[in-house]
Amino acid sequence: MPFPIDEKYIAQTEQQLGVIFPPRFKVKMIQMNGGEVIADDDVWKLFPFFDQSDKKRIKRTCNHIMVETRQARQWLGFPTDAIAIASNGSGDLLIFKKLDNVQQLEDTVYRWSHETAALKVVAQHFDQLKQG
């Protein structure tokens, strides 16, 4: 169940991953850390930011963006400049990619196929995705 998160936990993740998340994504996640979106005719579970404010939130956010991105980077064909933000439960991921040679992540949301390693644009901005 998604719930609000303190922005400091997003900043911690940004520092640990060496990236800056798109502002529209951060606004949504501050309001509801997780949840579902619909993209490319599929339902996607958003990975939360790790919330260490209490034991309940630690349990609910243990599959956080940093853990899921580290796991995805071990898969053949996962882009080295990508951050995993959601899963469809079948191996495919929604990702953000870094802009060239900077920490800022693109606003564009991509679908990464675990079978072909192909990328497909599913939204120009995160807030274009429908809530699940």
CB atoms within 10 A of CB 104: 13
Q: What is the pLDDT of residues 96-119, one digit of tens each?
A: 999 887 899 999 999 999 999 999
Q: Residue 129 and residue 20: Cα distance in Å, rounded?
A: 20
Query: Predicted confidence band at 1 (pLDDT cuts at 50, 70, 90)?
Result: low
User: For the CA atoms of 125, 25, 94, 38, what is the dihedral angle to 10 degrees?
Assistant: -70
Average pLDDT score over residue span 72-98: 96
3-7, 10-14, 117-121: lowest mean pLDDT where? 3-7
Q: Residue 50 and residue 60: Cα distance in Å, rounded?
A: 9
Q: What is the pLDDT of residues 17-68, one digit of tens each?
A: 999 999 999 999 999 999 999 999 999 999 999 988 889 888 888 889 999 9
- Ramachandran quadrant class, 40 (left: phi over 0; alpha: psi -120 to 50; beta: rest): left
pTM of the model: 0.93
